[in-house]
Structure 1
């Protein structure tokens, strides 16, 4: 639906939740990863700064997808004290522009979409890289994003069990409740036991040290590292990346602020060892080559993911008559 005569569409957080589910997010993220690998979509340099107030980090992620004709910017960041006020620590808004004219098209709430697009990213990696016979899903982390990750992951394989570990065990019921709802057995385990059991592992933490060691991971495992998005953060042993076939959303971010930063810095892997997952989606890389191969997806989170799901939200909201419009 054209917004030319209606002005700028406003798509609220509530509306985003109503119109964008896991299937819509999965398709949007998969398509934009494919476009990135073809160099028809690209991210602009990220701006991320500590603002010197409320311990907050604030920044901008932006880019242009020529295939999807999506241009925009996500503005927001992390306010660690928000949880005490009953609101999410991550706050963001997406602004979409008309690529032909530069005119603003839409203002879209970004909080829910950030969670659902991050979950879609790991789900895409599982769909394309995990063994087809994967039966046990391992979750490292039990915070706000973990339940989104869990729900998206279990739709990709016929998992029969979920095992989980979290630094604060009192948060594990967040995951257990979802498993009860889905009818999946759930078990809280040590990290070593998680590695021994899991066929697919998702790490979704804010750790600055290795939580999973190479020797704990069994052959054939797929690991989606989703928490490392800042210089210094780390979720898995750098030796694990050396032992795995490594894929990512964007190589430049993977080596600078993603999980691969530590393996690169220590010389354990080279940039040429990291493959954009879009190449697997496009069929230009075969992906997993054996049942014993360990595959690892370094999900750093790129602006184009946010723009893709925000564009889907705006289109769906407008088509369903759920968007509001204003003149600017």
Structure 2
């Protein structure tokens, strides 16, 4: 019985809490789930529905829906949620979301799964998959741009992909860098807070995980052979890197439609710096349909827009494992 069917076969509505998700989903399981989704999307076995994401005109919040269907995994559903920038001051996570899983055989709601932890761990898994398939094998320095809630997840996942010997990091609010430093020190990797230009001159791999609406990294700062994972741009208008940097790189993404409409590539497409045909899905690399990195001097860029199928994959895995371990609740709807 498939993971999805094991969840779909039970009567009642399954409730999987944030604590249960943290208990049953770790980085390796998230990595596998996300990598499999990218491959499935590339084969045409899974597809995402159009994203809805809007500023609601209240609390400076962005709110929306990501959804899709994976025929192979029988995962059907959506993630509803968004970004509330004032939450941190209230002791809450800025990103708030819930994942809804439906039975594809009859349309019944099968599970409600906490989405906050899963969003962070699947986003980190996506950048980690890009590093695994696109970064130079001899990468030694990891650069982190951004130090919000998701940054520590990103750092832990990235450090598992290469034998990094140093972490350099930048954040607008330098005090937030203490969280990244603590993780690096815990894992025995030297850490240094630097300015952006120095970060780019040293780093072999750079992860951007911000909510910026203007470029933070410029083309002339990036050294040959760098792999960049842009993980913060998921809304029309957002931007983390210079358009000329995108144009100079070989661009990969989770989904081309999102990349050109609300991802990091949106600005390069709008300006005419690149064409849609210049972008390749990471799934094509995973499936062996594209070679990925072609030389040690090539700059590669992963535009991680965050697709609904990633959420459904990790949520389906969480529901299955929580059910097996007795960490989920059943209620009648």
TM-score of the superposed pair, with normalisation by structure 1: 0.98
Aligned to 2:268: 263
Aligned to 1:319: 324
Aligned to 2:198: 193
Task: Tell whether the 8 Å contact from 1:37 to 1:276 is kept in structure 2 after alignment.
Answer: yes
d(CA) in 2 for partners of 1:121 and 1:3? 26
Aligned to 1:121: 126
Aligned to 1:172: 177
Aligned to 1:18: 23
Aligned to 2:245: 240
d(CA) in 2 for partners of 1:213 and 1:52? 32
Aligned to 2:305: 300
Relative distance call for 1:327 and 1:189 in structure 2 (3 A) is same
d(CA) in 2 for partners of 1:316 and 1:9? 12
How many corresponding residue pairs?
Answer: 328
Deviations 1:129-184 (A, max 9, x none): 00011000000111111100000000000000000111111111111000110000
1:211 aligned onto 2:230: no
d(CA) in 1 for partners of 2:58 and 2:290? 45
> Any idea what SS the aligned residue of 2:123 has?
helix
1:70 aligned onto 2:75: yes
> Any idea what SS the aligned residue of 2:150 has?
helix
Cα deviation for residue 52 of structure 1 reads: 3.2
Q: Unaligned 5+ residue runs, structure 1?
A: none
Cα deviation for residue 2 of structure 1 reads: 4.9
d(CA) in 2 for partners of 1:53 and 1:36? 35
Two-structure CA RMSD over aligned residues (Å):
1.1
Aligned to 2:135: 130
Relative distance call for 1:250 and 1:3 in structure 2 (3 A) is closer
Cα deviation for residue 84 of structure 1 reads: 2.0
d(CA) in 2 for partners of 1:139 and 1:151? 11
d(CA) in 1 for partners of 2:257 and 2:54? 19
d(CA) in 2 for partners of 1:246 and 1:292? 14
Task: Tell whether the 8 Å contact from 1:3 to 1:9 is kept in structure 2 after alignment.
Answer: no
Deviations 1:253-279 (A, max 9, x none): 111111111111111111000001000
Task: Tell whether the 8 Å contact from 2:48 to 2:309 is kept in structure 1 after alignment.
Answer: yes
- Off by >4 Å, runs of 4+ in structure 1: none
1:139 aligned onto 2:144: yes
Aligned to 1:43: 48
Q: 1:105 aligns with which of 107, 110, 127?
A: 110
Cα deviation for residue 40 of structure 1 reads: 1.2
Cα deviation for residue 81 of structure 1 reads: 2.1
